[in-house]
Amino acid sequence: MDLYAIYLVSDSVGETADVVIRSALYQFETENYQLKKYSYVQTTEEIEEICAKAADDRKAMIFYTFVKKEMADYMKERIEQAKLIGVDIYSPILTGLGQLFQLPAKEKPGMNRQLNEDYFNRVEAIEFSVKYDDGRDPRGIEKADIVLVGVSRTSKTPLSIYLANKNVKVANIPLFPESKPPKEIFTIAPERIIGLVNSPKKLNEVRKERLKTLGLPPSASYAGMERILEELEYADKIMKQIGCEIVDVSNKAIEETADHILHYMDVMNISRKQL
C-alpha cells in the first residue's frame, strides 16, 4: 500500500511545521503516511527539486514555513504549477501580525531557535553562578567569564545572579583576613576579575541589618568599624596584587554596577565562554 507523503519544508530547522503537523495528525486514526522533512531550504533550486519529488509521489502534500515572502511566494507558485496540494503555515500569521503591529516582519529564519538558545544559555549561566557562589568551588574561577571578589556585603551574590540573567557566567569569592584566597585568582587573566568595594559607613549599615535579620545583636564584631576597616585593607591588598578592575558599589544599584561590568567586558573584549 502506498503511503501518503507529507512534506515539511522550512528555511530553518522546521520545528514549527513539525509540531503543528504532528499535532494535527493525532486527529486521524491512521499511520498510513510518511513525513519527509527538508530543513534550511534557502534557494529556489531547492524548492524546484522538492516539488519535483512531491510530484513523483502519487499521494503528496507540502506544508511549508518560509519567513521570507519571496520564498513563500515561489513555493506557492511551484505547487500550483505542479498541481500539488500545499499549505503555507507561516505567511498568514506573519501578514496578520504585521497588520496588527503596523510593522514589517524581520524575515530572518531561525529566530525562534535563537531565542531558545538564549533562554537555555541564560539558565546555564544562572546555574553556574549558583554553583560557584561565595567561593564554594574554586574550580569555577577558571571556567567563569567574570570573577567577583570582595568583602562580605558588597553585593557579590545578587550581582552574580543579575549578570547571569545577561548570559554571563560568574563566580564570586569572599575576601577576609582569616582565609587565603584561592590560588586560581592569581593565575587567570586579571582583566577577568572585578574587585568590589563598599564604603565603611555603608558596610556598617548593611551588616547591622544583616545581623538583625539573623536575630543577632548589632554590636557583634562583624558590623564593627574596626573589623570592617581591617577587611577592607586586606581586600585592597589582594586586589592590588591581582591588578584587577575595582568598582565601588557604595552608591550604586545592582543594575548600575552590572552595566559598568558589561561595558567593561565589551571594552576589554572579554568573550562569554560556552561550557
Round the average pLDDT of the chain to a whole number and report it. 92
Q: Is the dihedral of CA 64, 70, 76, 80 positive or negative?
A: negative
For residue 63, list its beta bridge partners: 8, 87
Residue 272 marked as a ligand binder:
no
Q: Is the pTM of this model over 0.85?
A: no
One-letter amino acid at 118 equals D
Domains of the chain (ranges, CATH numbers): 4-109 (3.40.50), 112-267 (3.40.50)
Model confidence band, residue 11 (pLDDT cutoffs 50, 70, 90): very high
Residue 157 marked as a ligand binder:
yes
Q: What is the pLDDT of residues 195-237, one digit of tens each?
A: 999 999 999 999 999 999 899 998 899 999 999 999 999 999 9
The β-bridge relationship of strands 146-150 and 170-174 is: parallel
Residue 91 marked as a ligand binder:
no
Residue 166 has a pLDDT of 92
Residue 149 marked as a ligand binder:
no
Q: Are 207 and 227 in contact (CB under 8 A)?
A: no
Q: Are 73 and 81 in contact (CB under 8 A)?
A: no
